[in-house]
């Protein structure tokens, strides 16, 4: 592996190699819960699991390019310490288990590039989410690629190249948590943390056949940012199973003393073992206003319709409905662009930013202040309008496609203007972002594949603080559909 931006504490940053030949697939890596069980039973060691993850990452990097930085030396030292603690009888939920986090997440000793080009010094402290993962015993093996400032549903850029989908390397795994999704789908790590400001966990989960949870705002701290992207962005897990995603959510959840949002705790892992009961589920095909007139691709519609039929067969009442989204997009744009402007303004070399980022920075600067405050003030009314689907109409869950299209080809967004990028992105991904405006939870579940073998997903969306219901329903679907049995060619 070639070196770039080496750090004495943690080893080299990860760069893609030119050779993209596929490597033979090793035996599947155990999932998160299974890894924890094997360690607790002394069936394996943390050093073995971490070394295996690092070897898989190295082998897949020329093909998938999922990681920006590895912590090889530090992770192996932490694994050795975890083995000593396990041998002494200590037990924690993730003690000795390897996991990855996204490039927007502070890990002490590594720079936080957030998909950007240029030099950044290593940060000196972990983010609150990483601190909690470590407190649960997890070993952070590295940081996964993200597009620049998390803006787009693809993970490509001049700083690191293109991250590729393990189901078909000609296609994107999505974004902005595309590196985390590719790493988990390919079996490089058992699970990974992503972040979701407009679908950035759910979209790559849909396009890589994973479970991706966007939790309630504040469920997982975004500290050192107190209100990331004007309250749009939350951290959430990506995993191959509901139980693994729930376990990672339980480990990462919790507030920092400075956090603005503090929802009451949930027990996600308990919910994954619970019968959801008989639910009323609204199926919505029409996306919010996107100015594109886009609806779901026929193959996406077919897959989500089949999943709705499965829910009905499992005893739920499923019927089509139309949420009253109103003009929610007019409040999303100021918040999103103001958030980009806040992050972009911190970049030490603005000339290295993508021209589309600089365009968003200008827009966000114009729409900041009074306009963004007015946009945020409308959230209470949006809760009432859209929440009427649950409160007045009596539905428990909203089901929609996660995306309108299967994963695009690598390079689809190259050389597009800022406007054309936004329009193309809105046409492909019109369904996810309203729940970021509301701050409410949602889960992507695998919905199947196109005829050419590309994964697509469906969203289970709920009202405020409804993660446990959504997780229980997702687990029931998983028991029936057993989507975790399907693995990509690179795994």
- Looking at the annotation, which residues are catalytic? 102, 176, 200
Strand partners of residue 139 = 98
SS3 of the chain: CCCCCCECCCECECCCCCCCCCCCCCCCCCCHHHHHHHHHCCCCCHHHHHHHHHHHHHHHHHHHCCEEEECHHHHHHHHHHHHHHHHCCCCCCCCCCEEEEECCCCCCCCCCCCCCCCCCCCCCCCCHHHHHHHHCCCEEEEEECCCHHHCCCCCEECCCEECCECCECCECCCCCCHHHHHHHHCCCCCEEEEEECCCCCHHHHHHHCCEEEECCCCCECCCCCCCHHHHCCEEEEEECCHHHHHHHHHHHCECCCCCCCCCCCCCHHHHCCCCCCCCEEEECCCCCCCCCCCCCCHHHHHHHHHHHHHHHHCCCEEEECCCCCCCCHHHHHHHHHHHHHHHHCCCCCHHHCCHHHHHHHHHHHHHCCHHHHHHHHCHHHHHHHHHHHHHCCCCCEEEEECCCCCCCECCCCCCCCHHHHHHHHHHHCCCCCHHHHHCCCEEEEEEEECCCCCEEEEEEECCCCCHHHHHHHHHHHHHHHCHHHCCCCCC
Could you tell me if residue 254 is left (phi over 0), alpha (psi between -120 and 50 degrees) or otherwise beta?
left
Q: At what angle do helices 379-391 and 370-377 cross, to 10 degrees?
A: 20
> Exposed, middle or buried: residue 451 (CB in 10 Å: 0-12, 13-18, 19+)?
exposed
For 114, what's the count of Cα atoms within 13 Å in the CB-facing half-sphere? 17
Token pair of 51, please?
């070394």
d(CA 386, CA 324): 5
Q: What residues contact residue 6 under an 8 Å CB cut-off, 6+ apart?
A: 12, 13
Measure Cα distances from 406 to 196, 317, 444, 478 in Å: 19, 27, 14, 21
Q: How far apart are the first and last CA of the chain?
A: 20
């Amino acid at each position: 592996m070639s070196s770039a931006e080496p750090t004495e504490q943690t080893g080299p940053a990860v760069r893609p190699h030119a050779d993209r030949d596929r490597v033979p697939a090793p035996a599947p890596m155990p999932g998160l819960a299974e890894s924890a069980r094997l360690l607790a039973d002394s069936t394996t060691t943390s050093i073995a699991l971490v070394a295996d993850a690092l070897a898989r990452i190295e082998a897949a990097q020329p093909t998938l390019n999922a990681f920006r930085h590895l912590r090889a030396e530090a992770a192996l030292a932490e694994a050795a310490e975890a083995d000593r603690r396990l041998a002494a009888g200590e037990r924690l939920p993730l003690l000795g288990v390897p996991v990855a986090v996204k490039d927007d997440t502070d890990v002490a000793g590594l720079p936080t590039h957030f998909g950007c080009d240029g030099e950044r010094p290593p940060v000196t402290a972990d983010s609150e989410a990483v601190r909690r993962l470590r407190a649960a015993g997890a070993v952070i093996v590295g940081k996964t690629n993200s597009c620049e400032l998390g803006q787009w549903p693809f993970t490509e850029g001049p700083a690191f190249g293109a991250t590729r989908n393990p189901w078909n390397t000609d296609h994107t795994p999505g974004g902005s948590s595309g590196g985390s999704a590719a790493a988990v789908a390919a079996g490089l790590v058992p699970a990974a943390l992503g972040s979701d400001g407009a679908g950035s966990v759910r979209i790559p989960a849909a396009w890589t056949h994973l479970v991706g949870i966007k939790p309630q705002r504040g469920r997982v701290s975004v500290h050192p940012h107190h209100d990331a992207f004007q309250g749009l962005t939350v951290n959430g897990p990506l995993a191959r199973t509901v139980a693994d995603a729930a376990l990672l959510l339980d480990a990462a959840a919790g507030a920092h003393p400075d956090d603005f949002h503090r929802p009451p705790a949930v027990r996600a892992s308990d919910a994954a073992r619970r019968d959801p009961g008989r639910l009323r589920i609204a199926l919505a095909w029409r996306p919010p206003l996107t100015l594109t007139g886009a609806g779901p691709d026929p193959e996406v519609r077919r897959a989500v319709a089949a999943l709705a039929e499965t829910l009905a067969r499992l005893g739920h009442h499923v019927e089509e409905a139309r949420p009253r989204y109103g003009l929610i997009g007019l409040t999303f744009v100021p918040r999103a662009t103001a958030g980009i402007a806040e992050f972009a303004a911190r970049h030490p070399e603005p000339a290295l930013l993508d021209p589309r980022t600089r365009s968003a920075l200008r827009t966000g600067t114009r729409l900041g202040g009074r306009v963004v405050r007015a946009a945020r003030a409308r959230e209470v009314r949006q809760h009432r309008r859209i929440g009427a689907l649950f409160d007045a109409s009596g539905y428990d869950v909203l089901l929609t496609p996660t995306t309108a299209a299967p994963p695009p080809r690598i390079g689809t967004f190259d050389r597009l203007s800022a406007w054309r990028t936004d329009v193309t992105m809105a046409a492909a991904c019109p369904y996810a972002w309203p729940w970021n405006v509301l701050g409410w939870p949602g889960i992507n579940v695998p919905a199947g594949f196109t005829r050419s073998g590309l994964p697509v997903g469906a969203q289970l969306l709920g009202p405020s603080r409804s993660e446990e219901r959504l997780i229980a329903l997702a687990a029931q679907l998983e028991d029936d559909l057993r989507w975790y049995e399907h693995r990509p060619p690179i795994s």
